[in-house]
């Protein structure tokens, strides 16, 4: 059994090296620093990978592409409505010294436009806001904790400069704006604040809110215990749904699923040492996972992944009733219990889908799984 598993894994890995992923170009346009608009096709990548440069083709059949940096473009846009503008950044050594501009994506349009600059590392982000009336602009950086020593005790206080910047950009000549002290630094909180402000001026500045696209993909896995005894019939079947915000990250997704476990024992003998009692001959468990998170690498051939999820399960136990050393009927018991679900695996791209292999620890041992993702 172990040799078969090893051979299957080797076959899948070898197959994985024969496949590859193709670049995808989507229609759109670029606006140069000379105010020229050029229509064509832009290589579609996640936001953080479009921050420093883009690849552009005038025609999909072109064998070569043109590389543009923020020094050469004022903005670019996909036909889907995904718009990036170049923004001047603070020189905080987060980018090369010769780069003073990046591309940030517009997520709110109105009297105040809100842009997000997603970083490749640590899933962090900065924001830019622009007042289309006063032309005031500001970059909002994640606040840092400042250590303060008072009366011999150490305290930490978060920098709230971003709140001052927001209130500064909101102000016009005849408009005074109070600082929102309850505002948190985050995409959801800042977007909500800017949208609320823009609603006061939507007749003059129509509001547009960019809806982040997402995709679902599904994993189907079948597994058996790594140490399976000949007298056992033991397996698990899992169906998972992954929700990925495809422009934000290709390394993180939300997960939910349902897993069925089955275990039964052939020719199980009653221990004659005991006159009466019960003996389990079959158990079944249905595990519902409503929430989980999944992380993966962004390599092309073989993608490694891991996930963690919380759920609840119903366990049905089927037992023989033993009286006077003999089977005298059977009974079923139901047990409800919380579950923690983890797994580590690899998926290999085959055309547009994936073959999966996964190791899953469970309350009934470690399982080897194989499956398909689509």
pLDDT grade, residue 277 (50/70/90)? confident
State the pLDDT confidence band at 9, using cuts at 50, 70 and 90: very low
Apex CA 195: angle with CA 192 and CA 199, to 5°?
140
- Alpha-carbon distance of 115 to 162, in angstroms, equals 14
Distances (CA, A) of 28 to 51, 76, 81, 257, 305: 16, 7, 9, 37, 33
Confidence of residue 273 (pLDDT cuts 50, 70, 90): low
Q: Check: CB of residue 131 under 8 Å from CB of residue 166.
A: no
Closest to 139 in 3D by CA, of 85, 69, 81, 201 = 85
Q: Are 41 and 374 in contact (CB under 8 A)?
A: no
**Predicted TM-score of the model (pTM):** 0.81
Confidence (pLDDT) at 175: 67
Question: How many percent of the chain have pLDDT more than 70?
Answer: 84
Q: How far apart are the first and last CA of the chain?
A: 28
How far apart CA 20 and CA 295 sit, in angstroms, is: 21
What's the pLDDT at 25?
97
347's torsion region: left (phi>0), alpha (psi -120 to 50) or beta?
Answer: beta
Give pLDDT, residue 12. 44
β-pairing, 353-362 vs 252-265, is unpaired
Mean pLDDT of 75-82: 98
Position 181 scores a pLDDT of: 73
What sign for the dihedral angle of Cα 235, 288, 248, 144? negative
Count of other CB atoms within 10 angstroms of residue 231: 10
Asked if residue 125 has pLDDT above 70, the reply is yes
- Average pLDDT rounded to a whole number, residues 102-130: 95
**Which pLDDT belongs to residue 95?**
52
What gap in Å lies between CA 174 and CA 102, rounded to an integer?
A: 32
Q: What is the pLDDT of residues 163-213, one digit of tens each?
A: 999 999 998 766 666 667 789 999 999 999 999 999 999 999 999 999 999
Confidence check: pLDDT of 217 > 70: yes
Q: Which domains are present in the chain?
A: 23-209 (no CATH), 215-373 (2.40.160.20)
The pLDDT of residue 8 is 47
Tokens 């024969």 -> residue: 18
Structure tokens that stand for 297 in this block:
């690498």
| Average pLDDT over the chain, rounded to an integer | 87
Q: Which of 12-26, 64-78, 245-259 has the lowest mean pLDDT?
A: 12-26
* pLDDT tier, 325 (very low <50, low <70, confident <90, very high otherwise): confident
Between 160 and 184, the more confident residue is 184
- pLDDT given at position 204: 96
pLDDT of the residue at 176: 65
């Amino acid at each position: 059994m172990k040799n078969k598993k090893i051979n299957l894994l080797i076959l899948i890995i070898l197959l994985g090296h024969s496949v590859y992923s193709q670049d995808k170009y989507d229609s759109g346009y670029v606006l140069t620093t000379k105010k020229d608009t050029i229509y064509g096709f832009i290589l579609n990548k996640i936001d953080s990978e479009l921050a420093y440069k883009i690849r552009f083709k005038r025609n999909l059949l072109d064998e070569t592409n043109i590389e543009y940096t923020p020094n050469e473009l004022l903005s670019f846009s996909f036909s889907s409505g995904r718009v990036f503008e170049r923004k001047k950044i603070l020189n905080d050594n987060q980018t090369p010294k010769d780069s003073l501009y990046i591309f940030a994506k517009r997520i709110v349009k109105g009297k105040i436009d809100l842009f997000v600059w997603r970083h490749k590392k640590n899933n962090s982000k900065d924001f830019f806001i622009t007042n289309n009336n006063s032309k005031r602009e500001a970059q909002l950086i994640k606040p840092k904790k400042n250590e303060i020593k008072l009366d011999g005790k150490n305290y930490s206080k978060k920098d709230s400069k971003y709140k001052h910047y927001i209130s500064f950009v909101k102000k016009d000549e005849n408009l005074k704006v109070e600082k929102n002290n309850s505002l948190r630094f985050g995409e959801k909180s800042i977007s909500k604040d800017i949208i609320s402000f823009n609603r006061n001026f939507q007749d003059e500045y129509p509001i547009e809110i960019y809806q982040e696209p997402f995709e679902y993909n599904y994993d189907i896995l079948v597994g058996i215990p790594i140490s399976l005894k000949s007298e056992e019939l033991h397996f698990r079947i899992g169906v998972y749904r992954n929700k990925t915000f495809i422009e934000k990250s290709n390394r993180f997704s939300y997960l939910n699923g349902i897993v069925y476990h089955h275990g039964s024992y052939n020719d199980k003998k009653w221990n004659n040492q005991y006159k009466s009692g019960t003996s389990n001959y079959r158990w079944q468990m249905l595990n519902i996972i409503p929430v989980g998170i999944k992380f993966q690498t962004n390599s092309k051939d073989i993608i490694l992944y891991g996930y963690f999820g919380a759920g609840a399960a119903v366990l049905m136990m089927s037992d023989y009733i033993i009286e006077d050393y003999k089977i005298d009927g059977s009974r079923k018991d139901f047990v409800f219990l919380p579950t923690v679900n983890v797994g580590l695996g690899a998926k290999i791209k085959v055309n547009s889908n994936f073959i999966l292999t996964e190791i899953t620890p469970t309350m009934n041992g470690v399982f080897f799984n194989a499956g398909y993702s689509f």
